[in-house]
Structure 1
Amino acid sequence: MGEVLVGTAIFACLAGASLVSLMVHERFPAHHLGDDTSAVVRLAANLFVVMSSLVLGLMINSAKNTFESINGNVHTFATDLILLDRTLRHYGPEADSARQSLTAYVQRVVETSTADSDTTVVPNRLSELLLNQVGDLMAGLTPTDARQNAAQQAATQQLQKLVEQRWILAEQSEGAIPTPLIVLLVAWLTLIFASFGFRAPRNGTVVFTCLISAALVAAAIYLIIDMDSPFSGPIQISPAPLQRALAELTTQ
């Protein structure tokens, strides 16, 4: 929802700047509408066009890296879940209660991995309790031979890695694009769109072009910001790895 509001605000700024400039430039004194003035306005607009292009490129690269990094971490997280379950199976029937808690945790994660959910693996109270219960049950196991002792130690290490990976995903879910950078980019684009209406003819074609251009630019920035937050919006990390992990855990 936050990304939608940002996109709407950007559209309002860009469309408003171009339309206001289109409506008021005829009221300027004659010496403000000369060719020399127009040349300076175009030069300033070109400067901001270049700077905006560079910033947009940096934002796209940052959002792409964030998305790919989190996507890789989700796959790793799903793999760690499967490996921990396999280790508990190797321990023996005594670890079935720990496996059931682990399956309940994964089920909880998958259930929150829907299109209307804000996050996928970001910690919440119930998920944390389920994962802590897995650790408590594992700690209560009493190995009877070297095989079970090795399995318990391996499972403890895998659970620790799983917890660490979970918190890494929680930290990454907030995005990496600084808000001041977005504000600065919108300010530059607002000046660029204001220059569109300067000395432009006041007709339907110009108004339509300004509105469509503002909508497309706002949509592009919205998608970049949305990609930087991969657990919400139309561009999301696929829950398929977690669903496959749940299928593996429930297979007897």
Structure 2
Amino acid sequence: MGEVLVGIAIFACLAGAALASLMIYEHFPAHHRQDDTSAVVRLAANLFVVMSSLVLGLMINSAKNTFETIDHNVHNFATQLILLDRSLRQYGPETGAARASLSAYLQRLVDATSPAQRTPAVANRLSELLLNQVGDQLAALTPPEARRAATLQNAQQQLQKVIEERWVLVEQSDGIIPEPLIALLVAWLTLIFASFGFRAPRNGTVVGTFVISGALAASAIYLIMDMDTPFSGPIQISPAPLQRALTELTQ
């Protein structure tokens, strides 16, 4: 919801700047409406057009890389959960309580996946306690033979990897694009749109173009912010890997 409000505010800034410039141009003093003044305004706007294009391209690439990296980490996290469950099964029926705790943890992840989530369910405190409970239950086991001891050691190592992957996802949930950079880009675009209305004719086509252009530019920035936080908004990391892992754990 926060990204939507920011997108609407950006659209209001861009379209409003163009329309305001269009409306107040005729009220400028005559010496401010000369061709030389218009040429200087256009040149200044062109400078920020180039800078905005470069920054926008870098932000799109950064958001795309962030989304792909976290998606890869989610797949790896689900794989580690499946491998841990397989090791617990291999140990024997004594790990039934640990497997139940692990299944309960994964069930919470799947149930908590929703478009309204700002951070992933891996950051939930109760989820962390369930993983710690799995570790305590494994530590309480006493292997009767060397083979089971090796299996238990392997399971504990895999649990450690699961915990590490969980914290990686927690740390990646807030995005990496700094808000001041977005604010600076919006300021540049606002100046550019204001220059569009300078000496532009007053007709429906021009006004419609300003409105549509503002909406598209604001939508692009909104999508960048949404992809930078892939656990919230309409563009989210798919929960399918976790759902498949839960199916494997409950078979």
* TM bracket (short chain): over 0.9
Gaps of 5+ in 2: none
Residue 101 of structure 2 corresponds to 101
Residue 40 of structure 2 corresponds to 40
Residue 175 of structure 2 corresponds to 175
- TM-aligned CA deviation for residue 143 of structure 1: 0.4
- TM-aligned CA deviation for residue 121 of structure 1: 3.9
Q: Which amino acid aligns with 1:32?
A: H
Provide Cα deviations, 1:42-83, integer angstroms capped at 9, x if missing partner.
111111110000000110011011001100000000000000
- TM-aligned CA deviation for residue 126 of structure 1: 1.4
CA distance in 2, matches of 1:210, 1:199: 14
Q: Which moved more, 1:118-127 or 1:157-166?
A: 118-127
- TM-aligned CA deviation for residue 170 of structure 1: 0.4
Residue 82 of structure 2 corresponds to 82
Provide Cα deviations, 1:158-192, integer angstroms capped at 9, x if missing partner.
11111111011000010010111101100000000
Residue 91 of structure 2 corresponds to 91
- TM-aligned CA deviation for residue 194 of structure 1: 0.1
Q: Does 1:22 align with 2:22?
A: yes
Q: Which amino acid aligns with 2:28?
A: F
CA distance in 2, matches of 1:228, 1:218: 15
CA distance in 2, matches of 1:122, 1:33: 59
Instruction: Check conservation: 2:122, 2:128, Cα contact below 8 A.
Output: no
Gaps of 5+ in 1: none
CA distance in 1, matches of 2:139, 2:122: 25
CA distance in 2, matches of 1:106, 1:122: 9
SS of residue in 1 equivalent to 2:233 = coil
Q: Percent of counterpart pairs with the same letter?
A: 75
Q: Does 1:54 align with 2:50?
A: no
Residue 240 of structure 2 corresponds to 240
- TM-aligned CA deviation for residue 116 of structure 1: 2.8
Q: Which amino acid aligns with 2:31?
A: H
Q: What TM-score does the superposition give when structure 2 sets the normalisation length?
A: 0.98
Residue 8 of structure 1 corresponds to 8
Aligned-pair Cα RMSD in Å: 0.9
Residue 201 of structure 1 corresponds to 201
Alignment of 1:210-225 (within 5 A): 210-225=210-225
- TM-aligned CA deviation for residue 207 of structure 1: 1.2
Q: What TM-score does the superposition give when structure 1 sets the normalisation length?
A: 0.98
CA distance in 2, matches of 1:161, 1:121: 18
Instruction: Check conservation: 1:121, 1:166, Cα contact below 8 A.
Output: no
CA distance in 2, matches of 1:121, 1:153: 27
Instruction: Check conservation: 2:7, 2:222, Cα contact below 8 A.
Output: yes
Instruction: Check conservation: 2:20, 2:194, Cα contact below 8 A.
Output: yes
Instruction: Check conservation: 2:52, 2:188, Cα contact below 8 A.
Output: yes
CA distance in 2, matches of 1:122, 1:59: 26
